[in-house]
Amino acid sequence: MRLTVTEHPVNDGVVRLAVDGELERSTVEVLVAAVERAITVDHVAELILDLDGVTLLDDAGADAVVTVTDRAGDDGVAVVVIGPAERVRRTLRLGDVLDSLTEPEPWAGRSS
């Protein structure tokens, strides 16, 4: 199982982390490490967590999304989650995670 997280600077203090692959129990540390790096090394003010490339999300992956969002918030870093495909949104809804995340337009109504 493979997961990659690629950092894309958006503008000063804002970074988009593009998450690609299977976000599940054996790969969550890849996401956690990328967020930790953005917070502690890059000192970002806002993280855009782009889940468009996530092909599988299990309970551990959903928990990791909440964990990194909370971790960033503890350091005053805003997190915006964008782009999850319908199957990923479904998992986030089942775990009552989706309601705790910011859903900016236009993706909130998007179907995949």
- Domain presence at residue 112: no
pTM: 0.83
Domain at 96, CATH number: 3.30.750.24
- Domain presence at residue 79: yes
Q: What percentage of the chain carries pLDDT values higher than 90?
A: 60
How many folded domains does the chain comprise?
Answer: 1
| Residue type (1 letter), 112 | S
Which tokens go with 73?
A: 């918030």
- Domain presence at residue 110: no
Q: Please determine, for residue 21, whether its predicted confidence score (pLDDT) is greater than 70.
A: yes
Query: CA–CA distance from 95 to each of 7, 51, 99 (Å)?
Result: 27, 16, 10
- Domain presence at residue 109: no
| Residue type (1 letter), 31 | L
DSSP 34: H
Q: Which residue has the tokens 């995340």?
A: 101
- Domain presence at residue 78: yes
- Domain presence at residue 108: no
- Domain presence at residue 90: yes
Q: Using 50, 70 and 90 to split pLDDT, how confident is the model at 19? A: very high
Query: Between 97 and 57, where is the model more confident?
Result: 57
Give 32-87 pLDDT, tens digit per residue. 999 999 999 989 999 999 999 999 999 899 889 989 999 999 999 999 888 888 88
Straight-line distance from the first to the last Cα atom of the chain, in angstroms, rounded to the nearest whole number:
22
How much is the mean pLDDT over the chain? Answer: 85
Domain coverage including residue 60: 3-103
Tell me how far apart the alpha carbons of residues 60 and 98 are, in angstroms, rounded to a whole number: 14
